[in-house]
Structure 1
Amino acid sequence: MKRWWRQLTSNNSGQSGLAHTHHYSVDGENLPDRSNGNKKQLYLTIGLVAILITMIHFFAMSIRRMAMLSSQYGSVFSVINNDSIAIFRMSNLFAVPTFTLFIGYIVGGVVAGWWLYSKMNYGGEPDIAYGQKGDSRFTTIDEIKKQYRAIPNSADEYPGIATFDGIGGIPVSHYKGKYYIDRDTVNSAILGVSRSGKGETTITPMIDILSRAEIQTSMVLNDPKGELYAASKDTLEARGYNVEVLNLQDPMQSMSYNPLQLVIDAWVQGNPEEASKRANSIAFTLYNDPNMGENAFFYTTAQSAVTAIILTLVEHCVETDQVEKITMGNVANMLNTLGQLNWADDNTGQEKNALDEWFKGLPSGHVAQKRYGATSFAGAKTRGSILSTANDGLQPFVDPSFVKMTSRNSMDLKQIGFPKYLNGQLSEALVNERVEVSFVRNNEERTLIKEYRVKIKAQGRFSLNFDEFEGDAPNEEDGIQPGDFLLLKYIDSETNKASRLIYQLNFQVKTAKNGDTVMKKKAGEEDQPQLEREVVLELKKNTFDKVKQHVRLMYSNQPTAVFMIVPDYDSSNHALASIFTKQLYTELSSNAVETKGNKCFRRVQYILDEFGNMPPIDDMDQVMTVCLGRNILFNLVLQSFTQLERKYGEASDTIKENCQNLIYIMSKNEDTIEEISKQAGEKTEISISSNEQHGDLDNSISKNAESIRLISPTRLRQFIEGEQLIIRSLHRQDLERNKVRPYPIFNTKDTVMPYRYQFLSRWIDTDKELNEIDIPSKHAMLSLEELTVDFAPFIRNEKERRAYEGKNSDMKKEKQGKEKYQMDNKPKGPGRPNPNKKKSENDKTVKDLAKKMKDYLKRGIDSDQMTSFDRNIAKRLDKQLSIVIETEQLNTPFNEECISLLAKHSYEMADLLNELNKRGGYLDEDDGSD
């Protein structure tokens, strides 16, 4: 019946009144009212009195009947012996001597029922407290079962793929071996102090749940200690995930990430205003501080100056075909080089600054000039303070290891929410026209797999995000396969001429550096080769007048998990994690608005542990208000609301208001506890007071209704392990889409949340160590000198420009001299001694030293030693490593291991490596060493 009614209301959408009606009662829907609250009890009382009167009437009529029969049989005993059935006939109920007596029965029953009800309830609880001062309550277990999807605790076997249908969600309760999860598109705030169990009861179970669902979710996780990555990497990969790690603790063991890539993309696409916005977003994260007070001018102006430097560097490098040199390291170099270069004007004697003069000379209205404006107007002393502030914000990009990490990209940000897309560039004559894009099966019937329409934009560029499964679980047999065709078709509306581009899809097998085929890590598919995301397109036909850039197709069914390892002991580089978080959101959102449905094809869950310790994310309040429509969900893990207020000021209220789930685990902050207690609601209870005094025979007792918290602040301070309170203000439908009132959930006793170690250790093992994992690094062997920009074109004063060029020329000559010396003294063959160099007097010493290094490799270095290394040593060792590589002194398997060791910042072992080189550190390939 309910289903029929829903269909009726949905099919008659024009009748707006029907859409808001429901033919079932919703618990808690009516406002508290004494008459409504006691009506059922009144009816029950009258009913009981009516039954009692009926029974009395029945026995009275039976006795009357017996009296009448006794005159016939002579005595009562004779009646009982001969016709007892006649005495107790049911017809006696309807035997009323007179109509007046019948009316009397009715009136008497009602009066008696009313009198009894009044006596029973006079001063009683229902008459005094009926919810008028608060009618909140906790959700019952039966209601939880009806409102949330139940899934098994864990997978039955390792690794556990598609253990339940549909998509995963955040766990909100647990009962008898089952999690109850919220799969709605909601943001959540998780409140828990350190050691309160938020990781064990919520974060790690959530990772497990999202990854073992039939429809897997991409994840972005803030992981301060790297524990989540180490614990879940193997399981995620076995479940089919592409796992990446942005490691700010050790950049040489990290994915490569250039925060300027999105700025480059916007500039290349002919959109300088969008590039300016993206550059400013980066600078905002570096310089925004809600507590900057009187220094606000210097921070905001430094932000604008750095934005301007980013834009002018991008423009220069794009025009000179040096895109690979657009890095934050060169932004810092440009600020330091030009910001410190001053000269006196030949005519006026006034001091000039190279950076100021460069931006002043840009065309009027140039985006970079507009951003730099306030700095150029400042006096010399003020400008110095501005540039000093700007330099402080760029310090993370001065360290060589971070410069390398932020100079390349090893991951396409877009793939997290849009793992399949294509783009290209046709003639500008087709701008604003639409092109049909079709995927066709390579069979006799040429079966159409999927068809789309894409609009041609500025410069003839086009881009299409697609998913042939439209968000459902992928079935590779029905999807795009090797050998299928990609067809682009345009029909001129005036001439009716059709233009076609036809490509055949060739999926390429992924190979390692040594040429070996990379195999899949997903369980059950380990014997299958892993395919490159970029599909090679073989052109079969082209009838377009002009194709500026042939189609580029990216295709993958893999979800992605990105872990951001952000050390809690060093906050100097935390800004990079916030930049990554915002840039990823920006990239996904900008693509969502160009996609059918305006959302990501694959849901993206941000799980930001220690969110309160991350630098502020640009426009986070606005992000929270619109992200859900993009299929992007945020889970913010906080210790208290105070953390949020410190970071975001007034914007913290908007962020909180857009967290549809508040999951309270434990807090020590009084303001947070008070707020959670208030949000849980209030209930009405009776307070009793007495004025009794000693010796009095008569005393009076008064009862009053008063409002009390559903859960008190004291109880919130004293939560037992595993207890949680969930405020879920927007969960207003059950699984059958019936309306419900979103009472809070109190997980306690039978519904207490279990800890990971109790049942999930096989899948997420926190005993695994980060140091045991080798993380591929695309940038580890980059030469920073090759990435350095020549800033001579930016110096407008000819004399100073020549001086700068001369200085650079001297440095290059000095470097070339060193390189020549190193080449003259390098070994003459791989792993073989240099005949022009004396052999070590003691080969045994060299071998002993090598053995000692191997021992270090096996034993490792503990974390205290790692964090105690000085940065100056790091720079010297980085230089030593460059020399070693350039002179090819290390080319045996053992020495390759040493390079890897050095890349991990194991400085003690690096010193041994230096010592090895001093002593004639080269090893024969067959000397028995590794």
Structure 2
Amino acid sequence: MKLKIVRAVMAVFIFMLLASMFLYFIRVIDSFMTGQGILEIYRFPIWEVLNDVLNNEKTSQMFLICLAVALFMAVAFFIGQSKTYKSELISITPDIQTPRPAGQNQHGSARWLDPNKKDRVFDYVVIRKNNPFIQFLLRSGKEERRQVKKGNYWVDKTIMENKRNFKMGGLVLGKERQGLRNEKIYFIGEDVHGLNIGATRCGKGRTVILQTIGLLAMARESQIVSDPKGENYDYTAPFLRKCGVDVFALDFKEPLKSNHYNFLQSIIDAVESGNMSQAIDYVWDITGMLVGEPKGEKLWNNGEASIIASCIMIVVFENMDNPEYQNLTNVFYFIAEMCKAPKQGDDMMLVKYMKKLKVENPTHPALGLVAISDIAPSKTKGSFYTSALTTLKLFTNPLIYEMTRKTDFRPKDIGSRPTAVFIILPDGKTTNYTLAALFCTQVYSALSDFADKLGGRLPIRINYMLDEFGNFTKIPDFTAQISVGGGRGIRYNLFLQSMAQLEEKYGREIARIIRSNCETWIYLKAEDLETQKEVSERLGKYTTTSYSLSSSQQQYTSNSSQSVNLVGRELLTANEVSRIRRPYNLVTSRNDPVIMTSPDISKWSFNDFYGLGSKEHNRILRMIRSDARPTHQENGIQLWGIWKRYQI
């Protein structure tokens, strides 16, 4: 309709322009015929020209003929521009236009979400600048920004302990301005998982993650955030504490500034409470995560797992009065030292230890765990021990030992009160992603047991924000976790660079199951064609028009024809998907897809809440806050040393 109006206006303009030109043209001819000079025409005002045409019969007839020609040309222009092979387009983003839908869904019924339905389809909150809590956050952030400019470390220690500004939070999709000062933020509030596709340097941290962290804190929900480089922790930790959220950092980048987390703590707690069945389950959980799935014969994998599992149980069970030895570093050194023979031809110290254990405590839980490797030949056992030490070698690092020798918090705490745990990982170094995946698995397992005791759901919802999930070590039974986690109040938001990352880690079928369990997808940018094609296919097809022109030329005649057909077309082709640029992102869910606007963090109120500013300001802010974090002393590794009793 808009194009027709434009064409009509253009046709009227052409008619009026030609009519004016013909008017003077006729007057010029009349001047020649009456013997006037050609220069005289430029001195004729328009009203004199009109008067001459109206009062001179011949001139009037000539003008009417010219007027008919002008009308014919204007109509020809309108009809020519109305050729049906020129489709009307609708704008998706400033860079993407697609043909308008047609027909009655004969070849596809996919469609974009009606903007008027956005408020009914998605959850949203409004940040009102006149809200006392919002004003407190703005004042506090402004003062932090001012202090950073002076080079000072300053954090407002006021804590809104029981202040819950919003009923719930979730993965942020985008925002709209409401009025002059307020922000309407759209997010996913349901118990569903999210898949975020963003290539390197696409800005997912500054357009999705930082906003989501802030919204979850204001709703007092717990979150576990993988944080490559530590930017998210540096930017948001003071804000989270103001919101009454407990904040912990597992810092593999600077371990001496990290909080402590003992990977054996859940086993220790189960043994301490006398729940040996649960303790054994936790032992196999951690062992399965460390060893991984077999790549060849299961014998080697199972044997290694048996050795690690039994030695974990020994170190925990035999040191209930010596908690300083209950850690994975001591498990490594227990295997390394006890697998030596006191003298050539003698049994290994571990064999002697197990024989003694069978006599003194036949029901010891470690005996059942080691049974798998016990039946293997001696030479094969040697490979089990070597593989076990290789798997546990990370824990020989004194800095990792310092991080994991004790525990500052327990997984149950994350589900009991608002808590944020940041897993800070070195940029470009994937070695510690194994430990990050292990932590996430342990927390899920412990929280699932906790939820079962509370009727199947946690008191506080947990949100995994796993940036660079494609670099994580494969998590065993992850499909089970993501399938049932939502019902327990545990949501996963996975951030990938491409679908290929997921398939490389989990295989094609498992990756497909994981994707299908993520109801909400946010597409920011992808560099590979396969990911773009999959996003395009997920959008589906709609019905539009297709036009064809044909012509034939013979000796004395020529023919041309045109036809209009209804065809199916992708809502966005793979090429069009690739042209999505910031601040726009594509959101697909159980509802119709929608293009949301999610600009850089600098355009959000969260930028002021966090005290952020320019790039240089943010660099200085990170440096000041990092330097202010307390640093532990490295006191050396404390070893159990039981092997000394068996040495000659």
Deviation for aligned residue 1:334: 0.7
AA in 2 matched with 1:629: G
What amino acid maps onto 2:567 in structure 1? E
Conserved 8 A contact 2:584-2:599: no
State the distance in 1 between where 2:599 and 2:558 align: 56
Q: Are 2:199 and 2:527, in contact at CA under 8 Å, matched by a contact in 1?
A: yes
Decide whether the 8 Å contact of 2:342 with 2:349 is kept in 1.
yes
Task: Sort the Cα spacing of 1:352 and 1:651 in 2 relative to 1 into closer, same or farther, 3 A.
Answer: farther
1:110-149 alignment runs, 5 A limit: 129-149=103-123
Residue 685 of structure 1: aligned partner: 544
- What is residue 907 of structure 1 aligned with on the other side? none
Aligned to 2:633: 780
Instruction: Spell out the pairing of 1:22-421 with structure 2 (5 A cutoff).
Output: 129-152=103-126, 156-159=134-137, 164-176=165-177, 177-213=183-219, 216-288=220-292, 293-294=295-296, 297-318=299-320, 321-341=321-341, 352-359=347-354, 362-363=357-358, 367-419=365-417
Q: CA deviation at 1:127?
A: 13
Deviations 1:532-586 (A, max 9, x none): xxxxxxxxxxxxxxxxxxxxxxxxxxx2111110113333332221111111111
CA deviations 1:628-686 (Å, max 9, x no partner) are: 11111111111112111222224322221111111111111222211111111110122
Among 589, 605, 608, the residue aligned to 1:762: 608
1:676-703 residue CA offsets vs partner (Å, 9 max, x unmatched) = 1111111012222333223554444343
Note if contact 2:110-2:592 (Cα within 8 Å) is conserved in structure 1.
yes
What corresponds to 1:743 in structure 2?
592
Mapped to 2, the partners of 1:593 and 1:293 lie a distance apart of 34
8 Å contact from structure 1 (residues 677, 709) kept in 2: yes
Would you say the 8 A contact 1:641–1:672 is kept in 2? yes
**1:770 Cα shift?**
5.2
Aligned twin of 2:152: none
What displacement does 1:198 show? Answer: 0.8
> 2:643 maps to which residue?
791
In 1, Cα distance between the equivalents of 2:363 and 2:512?
37
AA matched with 1:184: E
1:725 equivalent in structure 2: 586
**Structure 1: how far apart are the matches of 2:111 and 2:603?**
31
- Tell me the residue number matched to 1:99: none
Hey, what's the Cα distance between the residues in 2 that align with 1:405 and 1:165? 35
Deviations 1:53-105 (A, max 9, x none): xxxxxxxxxxxxxxxxxxxxxxxxxxxxxxxxxxxxxxxxxxxxxxxxxxxxx
Q: Letter of the aligned partner of 2:135 in structure 1? A: E
Q: Which whole-Å CA distance do the structure 2 matches of 1:404 and 1:603 have between them?
A: 30
Write the deviation string for residues 296-342 of structure 1: whole angstroms up to 9, x where unpaired.
64344322321121012222223xx2233211111000110012336
Matches within 5 A, 1:389-468: 389-419=387-417
Alignment of 1:804-843 (within 5 A): none
Instruction: Determine the C-alpha separation between the residues in 2 that align with 1:647 and 1:373.
Output: 31
Distance verdict in 2 for CA 1:687–1:300, change over 3 Å: farther
Cα offsets for 1:451-508 (capped at 9, x unmatched): xxxxxxxxxxxxxxxxxxxxxxxxxxxxxxxxxxxxxxxxxxxxxxxxxxxxxxxxxx
**In the TM superposition, what is the alpha-carbon distance from 1:126 to its structure 2 partner?**
12
- Name the aligned partner's letter for residue 720 of structure 1: R
Is the CA contact 1:360–1:369 (under 8 Å) kept in the aligned structure 2?
Answer: no
Q: In 1, are the aligned partners of 2:525 and 2:581 still within 8 Å (CA)?
A: no
Q: CA deviation at 1:399?
A: 1.0
190-199 or 644-653, which moves further after superposition?
644-653
Contact 1:151 1:164 in 2 (8 A): no
Select 1:640's aligned residue among 498, 502, 520.
Answer: 498
Q: Which residue of 1 aligns with 2:517?
A: 658
In the alignment, the residues of structure 2 paired with residue 212 and residue 640 of structure 1 have an alpha-carbon distance, to the nearest angstrom, of 31
Contact preservation (8 Å) 2:196, 2:521 = yes
> Are the equivalent residues in 2 in contact too, given 1:603–1:631 (CA < 8 A)?
yes
Structure 1 residues 158 and 200: CA distance shift in structure 2, 3 A? farther
Contact 2:101/2:544, CA 8 A, preserved across alignment: no
Aligned 8 A contact 1:273 1:367 in 2: no
- 1:76 is aligned to none
Q: What whole-Å deviation, never above 9, does each CA across 1:381-421 have from its counterpart, x for those lacking one?
A: 433322222111111110112112211111132111113xx
Change over 3 Å in CA distance of 1:191–1:158 after alignment to 2: farther
Q: How far does the alpha carbon of each residue in 1:585-616 deviate from its partner, in whole angstroms, 9 at most, with x for none?
A: 111111110014x2111111111111111222
- SS of aligned partner of 2:224: strand
C-alpha distance 360-709 of structure 1, shift in aligned 2 (>3 A): farther
Shift of 1:201: 0.9
Residues 208 and 693 (structure 1), Cα distance of their counterparts in 2 relative to 1, 3 Å cut: same
Q: Is the 8 A contact 2:463 2:493 kept in 1?
A: yes
The verdict on how the C-alpha distance between 1:418 and 1:277 changes in structure 2, with shifts beyond 3 A counting, is same
How far is 1:366 from its partner?
Answer: 5.6
Instruction: Check if 1:602 corresponds to 2:460.
Output: yes
Task: After superposing the two structures, state which structure 1 stretch, 369-378 or 662-671, moved more.
Answer: 369-378
Give the Cα separation in 2 of the matches to 1:267 and 1:198.
42
Mapped pair 1:707 → 2:568: yes
Whole-angstrom distance in 1 between the partners of 2:100 and 2:526: 36
TM superposition shift of 1:719: 1.4
Distance, in Å, in 1 between the alignment partners of 2:363 and 2:501 is 41
What amino acid maps onto 2:176 in structure 1? Y
Q: Is the 8 A contact 2:171 2:187 kept in 1?
A: yes
| Shift in Å, 1:163 | 8.4
What corresponds to 2:82 in structure 1?
Answer: none
**What fraction of aligned residue pairs are identical, expressed as a percent?**
27
Q: Describe the SS at the equivalent of 1:282.
A: helix
Aligned to 2:187, what secondary structure does the other structure show?
strand
Structure 1 Cα separation of the partners of residues 101 and 480 of structure 2: 48
Residues 193 and 153 of structure 1, relative CA distance in 2, 3 Å threshold: farther
Bigger Cα Rg: 1
Q: Deviations over 1:785-814 (max 9, x none)?
A: 3x4342356xxxxxxx251xxxxxxxxxxx
Q: Distance in 2 between matches of 1:296 and 1:673?
A: 38
C-alpha contact (below 8 Å) 2:102/2:543 kept by paired residues: no
More helix by share: 2
Q: Would the alpha carbon gap of residues 745 and 660 (structure 1) be closer, same or farther in structure 2, given more than 3 Å must change?
A: same
1:206 deviation in Å? 0.8
Instruction: Report what 1:716 is aligned to.
Output: 577
Quote the residue 1:586 is aligned against. 445
Q: Which one is further off, 161-170 or 563-572? A: 161-170
Q: Is the CA contact (8 Å cut-off) linking 2:354 and 2:367 kept in structure 1?
A: yes
